Structure 1
């Protein structure tokens, strides 16, 4: 396979700077074949993409005045990438906990942000206490069990709850509002008191609202597909590890890197998680009735989407910001 391409043979697995391994997990990538300072070089370096997206998200939040909870979510996202970087470089148990538990904590933060939105202050406080208690319970029980399956299941369940709750909020709080407003608009069309300018503005809002919902669903489908695709590749990496290792050694470096399934998991789920937070930011602005103040900038599916503030001209009209 690919024998006609120039390649560098894999070095045999050997000990490294961070030995001995103390983590409860050791992935399919061979250890210390590239450098003695990184146990799993591809799994380590792919986290730089995670960290880049986290910084990009934090910068976007500060630049455009998004809610602070999303800045903190991206900060947690950065901790996930940094923890995973340290974990795969060292294969040490403390670094494994930083990697895995930061995923739980960031998801618990999004759990609180999703369920506490627009609730009375006492309810927000109770949900905050519940979220912190849940995070502490998962931390203690996982450390007691030291079973990665428990962490993976807890993370998957939390992520699914947050995702479906957000979709529920979008459909029951945005779409009914749009539908009701559209019906009121249809009735108002026959009113002699409604000016032509007002009718034109209502039609613009209808088109805007329909486009927002369409793009939101495209974003959900895209982000979920990327996330599940990364999970599928990671699963194949676990199930067919011995065969993949043989193929990698046959192909040699750098071509064998393409078959590093856990590295693809980092790249794909990192992008999927980033898209989800951007969608959450946009959803929050729409729930606050600020659709005309912010826009989703997503030129192509392979580009990184971002929610940006729309510039307001001196005459009060809106225009796209210079990018």
Structure 2
């Protein structure tokens, strides 16, 4: 199943401890996910509103750009790590020291990028199955996206906890 991929890569890494192995496997996973996402866009049914496809594409592309930016920062940090460390140790303050930690930026930006890619892809999938029923929002500082029922879908189909007992009516949407 799904767990076999990371377990296999980890087992292989224990036997052959070379970081390039992880980088190559990660690249293969990214290539596969990118290919599958492109196929989802190309095979989207005509019932999916073009605005929903644009929104999903926007989130996936901005997530990818954050990821690429993080990768660039991480590589700069790897190449000039000793130089940056000695400069930070000389006279820079704590704030500058904190914001010039390339590895920390790698984790922050890849986390945000992967979240946007994941939510954009999830949005694409629900839009394919339930055209026009969902929308994308960014409730947390405009950075962290979320998928929610469109207000018109809630009113039309009784979604979102509007039932008499406070539970969502999912009837045909399940």
Under a length normalisation based on structure 2, what TM-score does the superposition of the two structures give?
0.79
Distance 2:114 2:78 in 1: 22
Gaps of 5+ in 1: 1-127, 182-207
Q: Which secondary structure does the structure 1 equivalent of 2:132 belong to?
A: coil
Which deviations, in whole Å up to 9, do the C-alpha atoms of 1:125-161 show, x marking residues without a partner? Answer: xxx3xx4443332121111112122112211221221
Distance 1:134 1:143 in 2: 14
Q: In the alignment, which of 31, 40, 45 is matched to residue 160 of structure 1?
A: 31
Aligned match of 2:21: 150
Aligned match of 1:260: 101
1:247 aligns with 2:118: no
Q: Over alpha carbons, which structure has the higher Rg?
A: 1
Distance 1:135 1:243 in 2: 34
Q: Which secondary structure does the structure 2 equivalent of 1:292 belong to?
A: coil
Q: 2:56, 2:121 within 8 Å by CA — same for their partners in 1?
A: no
| Structure-to-structure mapping, 1:1-323, within 5 angstroms | 128=1, 131-171=2-42, 173-174=43-44, 177-178=45-46, 209-249=49-89, 250-288=91-129, 290-298=130-138, 302-311=142-151, 312-313=154-155, 316=156
Q: 2:116, 2:145 within 8 Å by CA — same for their partners in 1?
A: yes
Aligned length: 158
Distance 1:253 1:285 in 2: 45
How far off its partner does 1:209 sit? 1.1
Aligned match of 2:172: none
How far off its partner does 1:319 sit? 10
Which deviations, in whole Å up to 9, do the C-alpha atoms of 1:25-74 show, x marking residues without a partner? Answer: xxxxxxxxxxxxxxxxxxxxxxxxxxxxxxxxxxxxxxxxxxxxxxxxxx
Relative to structure 1, is the Cα distance of residues 222 and 136 closer, same or farther in structure 2, using a 3 angstrom cutoff?
same
